[in-house]
Amino acid sequence: MASIGTEPNGHRRILFVAADGSRKTVRLGKCSQRDAEQVCRHVEVLAAATIHGQPVARETAVWLSSISHTLYDRLARTGLVEPRAAAVSTKLGPFIDEYIAGRVDTKPRTIINLKQARKAIVNYFGEGKVLETITPGEADAFRLSLLGKGLADNTVRRICGRSRQFFRAAIRLELTHRNPFDGIKCAVGANTERLYFVSRQEAEKVLEACPDAEWRLIFSLSRFAGMRCPSEHLALRWSDVDWEHNRMTVRSPKTEHYVGKASRLVPIFPELRPHLLAAFELAVPGAEYVITRCRDGSVNLRTQLERIIQQAGLKPWPKLFHNLRATRETELAESFPLHVVCAWIGNSQAIAAKHYLQVTDEHFDRAINEGMIGRAGKTASQVRGETDRAAAPSGTEKTIFGAAQNPAQQLHAQSRKASQVTFPKTHNPWIYNTLREDAKACNRPNKSLMPPLGLEPRTH
């Protein structure tokens, strides 16, 4: 049996008898009675397992994997558990470098994102920070520090998600026993404030400001085909373009690791075709790729597009290429079923609804000026007018209801017998005669209907 003791300074300790009969102490420091009782319960299990040579219960084994390094060392010094093996490369900076170097299965853009997360977490904790010593509270403080720098909430979530990914790998390598980023929200949410609908007029201005045919094609592939830039633009080959059937095969490096998502067929939309033809006529004979510039990754397309937009006399919108793609999906959703649109754009209906589809000013204008289309192709105002006219009483009904309503409004000034006589008798004379005879009883004195002794029982 193990027991809980309290020292004069308020610190708690666990006392138990070891397998050799000696009394051992596990000092807990300052903690609550509830926490001390939990530790005491697991110490009893460990002591019993040590004495009888039995395996440790699963609940206690899970608890051991989650406790701090300090408490585990105190248990090891009493002989209850084996000391943890010295971890190799447990320092934060070197471990993340080894992890990123080993990710040969990822795309170059993913490696860039991992290195950005590595920079953020190492700048906060330091290169030599030991993985095991990072606590959940410190992970919370790291997240708050990112928000304090003015980073967007989704950016902070991505960094924390990649940090959690680092620690998940460390746990699988048994370099640490807990993930301090568990419980931190890492899923990217929809940010409607950064959505922007690029109108046809704005698109035409940008196209006029583009320096050459290839830049007009880059912009058109995003705005009128909804392709991801730059990955899908750079992967497009002339052999993927089917001029005869007005289709092209779009290869998607982002989704190629999913079954059946390596490529998709996209129509050569009328808005896109002239720009694609112009680039084809200017292409070098035997050229393989449609887009020839920026293939080495040294040119930032986003920065170049911002300059073109400014030259067009417009203000660059947020998330330049994403909003071009979202604008096209919103447009297509007006004319085609959503599952067809998602097949062309290359995302799911859930993702489209959360991150792409937008409510535009045109939707409000159509709702106000046209209204919803009702039955038989009529507008909502026409349908409401027909409904109101259908609900109005006919001429005969007006006569009956009018004759009944006027006396009813003057019942307070007339006797019940007189009021009933004014009701029309042509509709159903029997009903009105019956109601009139029943109403006569109401003129009797109420006291004649009430027992003289009241309702309460008599008492003696």
CATH architecture for residues 92-189: Orthogonal Bundle (1.10)
For residues 102 and 173, give the distance between their C-alpha atoms in angstroms, rounded to a whole number: 13
For residues 432 and 404, give the distance between their C-alpha atoms in angstroms, rounded to a whole number: 12
DSSP-assigned beta bridge partners for residue 241: 248
pTM of the predicted model over 0.85? no
What is the CATH code of the structural domain delimited by 199-351? 1.10.443.10
Where do you find CATH 1.10.443.10 in the chain? 199-351
For residues 436 and 418, give the distance between their C-alpha atoms in angstroms, rounded to a whole number: 9
Res 327: pLDDT = 96
Nearest Cα neighbor of 219 from 268, 290, 272 is 272
Where do you find CATH 1.10.150.130 in the chain? 92-189
Res 449: pLDDT = 52
Do strands 12-17 and 241-242 pair parallel, antiparallel, or not at all (unpaired)? unpaired
pLDDT in tens, 440-449: 555 555 544 5
Nearest Cα neighbor of 64 from 179, 176, 177 is 177
Q: Where are the alpha helices (DSSP H) in 283-411?
A: 301-311, 320-333, 338-345, 349-351, 361-369, 380-391, 395-409
pLDDT in tens, 315-367: 999 999 999 999 999 999 999 999 999 999 999 999 999 889 999 888 898 88
Res 415: pLDDT = 46
Output the six-digit token pair for 316: 């660059």
Residue 429 has pLDDT above 60, yes or no: no
- Measured between alpha carbons, how far apart are the two ends of the chain, in Å? 75
Output 90 or 44, whichever has higher pLDDT. 44
- Strand (E) or helix (H) holding 17: strand 12-17
Angle at 179 between CA 177 and CA 180, to 5 degrees: 120
Output 398 or 66, whichever has higher pLDDT. 66
Residue 55 has pLDDT above 90, yes or no: no
For residues 175 and 168, give the distance between their C-alpha atoms in angstroms, rounded to a whole number: 10
Res 53: pLDDT = 83
Residue 210 has pLDDT above 50, yes or no: yes
